[in-house]
Amino acid sequence: MTLYKEIQPADLYRVRMPYPFSNYDRQLLTLLYQPMVGSAAVSLYLTLWAEGEARGEDSTHYTLMNTLGTPIKAIFESRIQLEAIGLLKTYRNDGENRSFIYELCPPLDPKTFFADPLLSMFLFSKIGETAYRRVRDRFLVQTPIASNYKEVSRTFTDIFQPVHAKNGYPADEKELESRTSGDYQMDDDFDFALLRQGLSEQLVPKRVLTASIRKWIGKLAFLYGFGPLEMQKVILLAIEDDYKLDAEALRRAASDYYKMTVTTTAPKLEQIKQVEPSVDKQDSQQQPATKEDELVAYLESASPIQVLRDIAGGKEPLPADVQLANQLVTQHGMEPAVVNVLLQYVLLRTDMKLTKAYVEKIASHWLRKNVTTAKQAMDFARIEHGQYMKWKNEAGSAPKKSASSARKPIREEKLPEWFLKKDEVEEPVQGIPSEKLEQEKQKLLAKLALKKRKGD
């Protein structure tokens, strides 16, 4: 899968926090950012927040999959949303064992947030005017200073003075905690050269286009879809008689020009549908062509705990089963997708009994054969089915039974639906007629479809 070029469950990660966050940051995150990125992304942020405060050891993304109860793809999508909105910075080390550092950034303060044209418009488009005004008013200064009061605070130089003594100098400063801006990043592709060419030095002096004003010009041009020519007119509307140009005037001028030339309805911000940047165009258009392709996609994306839960009809798996699945991933280094196939194969072959010795014997074989994908695991289960049945019979062998008990009918065990793909199996399983196979296949496919509908 192309997603594995970006992130894998076995990849290590560490959380870095610039300083301890406060309950006020949590309020800002919940009320301002959650409507924009959704509850899944905020849940990932809060989980990383808790881990960062603990300052624990490096963890694998498989731990996040279990904690959040979501597949690795959902975690990746939440991560890039947090990155885009300015709440997370990701650093990757592509060494022998790929690892990540997730640096959490605090939410912007309300004044900066609502002054930002993109963030404020994004929130407005998500929650509507009434809710927007309500949440904005929540952060208003409740007790402004009355006009009949004037500030009489002393300055630093009023109270302190330097004394020239031979006490040496403080040691070189180390990297200390600081409050990061938490601002988001944008591609700097606006043509400022063309913008400057159309502005007269007498009307708009070069000095007014400071770094902060240039940043605002880029944001407003992106929001309203303006090019350099349109932004020239916006600047002329915003600049004052004394050749001053501030961010608020620029924002109002851009809004007014948009209403006059485009529409009175505010623009909306939506997430780009293509969330995996490295996906090829051809791959992104491919959809599961068969039931088996659909099942492979499910096994590749779901966590082993989710697979155990789905097989049990939505019931929570027993701790012993969860521990066995976790050991295969964390201690033995098996891919979660391979563990998913192994769990499904063993449970359906042994009447829902997850025998540890039997599971570990098949797992050991797949590890030696370097099985890393769900498709490879499914093919090995088909090819080596006869050998695996011998191992099962050897593990469950008991003393000889009487002749009367030997004549009792043997109960036929179920097979996973993917096992019944005839074009990849050399011959049908002995003891089960081909008609019986087809009937069993249809039953299991119907059962899978019912589970999927319930899950949706």
Least confident stretch, 208-212, 373-377, 413-417, 444-448: 413-417
pLDDT at res. 340: 87
Q: Give the pairing of strands 99-104 and 12-16.
A: parallel
- Residue 222: partners with Cβ closer than 8 Å, 6 or more residues away: 118, 186, 190
pLDDT at res. 400: 47
pLDDT at 43 over 90: yes
Fold of 6-108: Arc Repressor Mutant, subunit A (1.10.10)
| DSSP output for 215-270 | HHHHHHHHHHT--HHHHHHHHHHH--TTS---HHHHHHHHHHHHHHHT-SSPP---
pLDDT at res. 351: 72
What are the domain boundaries of the chain? Answer: 6-108, 289-397+409-455
Q: Report which secondary-structure segment, H or E, holds 93.
A: strand 88-93
Mean pLDDT of 226-251: 82
Q: Which residues of 344-383 are buried (b: 16+ CB within 10 A; e: fewer)?
A: bbbbbbbeeebeeebbbebbeebbeeebbbbbbbbbbbbe
pLDDT at res. 432: 44
Give yes or no for a contact between 115 and 252, defined as CB atoms under 8 angstroms apart: no
Q: What is the pLDDT of residues 82-115, one digit of tens each?
A: 999 999 999 999 888 889 999 999 999 999 999 9
Sign, Cα dihedral of 123, 129, 131, 136: positive
Mean pLDDT of the chain: 77
pLDDT at res. 383: 78
Q: Which residues share a beta bridge with 92?
A: 100
pLDDT at res. 72: 87
pLDDT at res. 276: 45
For the stretch 258-265, contacts whose Cβ atoms lie closer than 8 Å and that sit 24 or more positions apart, written own/partner, are 258/224, 258/226, 261/230, 262/224
pLDDT at res. 39: 93
Model's pTM, two decimal places?
0.64
pLDDT at res. 247: 82
Q: What is the pLDDT of residues 381-397, one digit of tens each?
A: 777 766 767 666 665 55
